[in-house]
Amino acid sequence: GENVEQHPSTLSVQEGDSAVIKCTYSDSASNYFPWYKQELGKRPQLIIDIRSNVGEKKDQRIAVTLNKTAKHFSLHITETQPEDSAVYFCAAPYSGGYQKVTFGTGTKLQVIP
Amino acid sequence: GAGVSQSPRYKVAKRGQDVALRCDPISGHVSLFWYQQALGQGPEFLTYFQNEAQLDKSGLPSDRFFAERPEGSVSTLKIQRTQQEDSAVYLCASIRGSSYNSPLHFGNGTRLTVT
């Protein structure tokens, strides 16, 4: 199956600073990499995703970069705001099975006003 | 409805009781998933349905766990003889097609507490 490792497990930044969360994966055939945001007591929601045919994707203050050779992808949040405080999960599918998407262990981001 | 709906939102069960958790996916979504999320952890895959067919149940932790989706829409996750280690949030998710290259639409989950 797919092994997904996510770092760091917690991250505190000052409002306005940038935050970077990194994930590594094991299945070299994986070609879709989503990031989910989960606020306390709420459902995980997709914030950005990237497919393996591109190296970077940006949506306003959020960007994701992918390095297929090294098998890692990163979430970048710029100009952080207090409402960015949440737990962020990366995920990667296992190409050898039906839909067995594996999630990282999560990064708890705290943005300090 | 507009999103994935799960019920109940919270469930407290005494050890040994059976529980049934319901998921109503987005209308027309072919694929349905169940995940288990322990406190402070990422969602862990339990099982996957494509329409009414359960194509992967490799994540179910024991034979006390059973899931069904008889008409290819609503799904039920049943846990028999609940144990304390079953305490977790159970998330249901759906996607329109069957490709794993699509984002999951999650429900709000059922928080199960076994006492």
Q: What is the pLDDT of residue B107?
A: 96
What are B32's two structure tokens?
């349905």
* Averaged pLDDT for residues B84-94: 96
Decide if A105 touches B, using CB distance below 8 A: yes
If one compares B1 and A14, the residue with the highest pLDDT of the two is A14
Rounded to a whole number of angstroms, the distance from the CA of B11 to the nearest CA of chain A is: 15
Quick check: B104 and A102 CB within 8 A?
A: no
Task: Tell me the C-alpha distance between B98 and B76, whole Å.
Answer: 20
Regarding predicted confidence, which is higher, B39 or A75? A75
Give chain B's mean pLDDT. 94
CB within 8 A of B2, min separation 6: which ones?
B26
pLDDT of residue A54: 84
Is A43 at the interface with chain B, CB within 8 A? yes
Contacts of A44 in chain B (CB under 8 A): 43, 91, 104, 106
pLDDT digits (tens, 9 = 90+) for A8-55: 999 999 999 999 999 999 988 888 899 999 999 899 999 999 988 889
CB B87 within 8 A of CB B115: no
Q: What is the pLDDT of residues B6-50, one digit of tens each?
A: 999 999 999 999 999 999 999 999 999 999 999 989 999 999 999
Among B30, B101, B106, the strongest candidate for a mutation testing the A interface, having the largest count of A CBs within 10 A, is: B101
> Could you give the CA distance from residue B65 to residue B74 in angstroms, rounded to a whole number?
17
**Closest residue in B to A34 (Cα–Cα):** B103
| CA angle at B86 for the pair B84 and B6, rounded to the nearest 5° | 130
Q: Please count the other Cβ atoms lying within 10 Å of the Cβ belonging to residue A32.
A: 18
Inter-chain CB proximity B109 and A43 less than 8 Å: yes
CB contact under 8 A, A98 and B109: no
Q: How far, in Å, CA of A39 to CA of A83, rounded?
A: 9
Q: What span, in angstroms and rounded, lies between the C-alpha atoms of A59 and A63?
A: 6
Apex CA B42: angle with CA A79 and CA B73, to 5°? 110
- pLDDT tops 90 at residue A75: yes
**Segment A89-109, tens digit of pLDDT:** 999 887 665 567 889 999 999
Cis link prior to A8 (omega < 30° from 0)?
yes
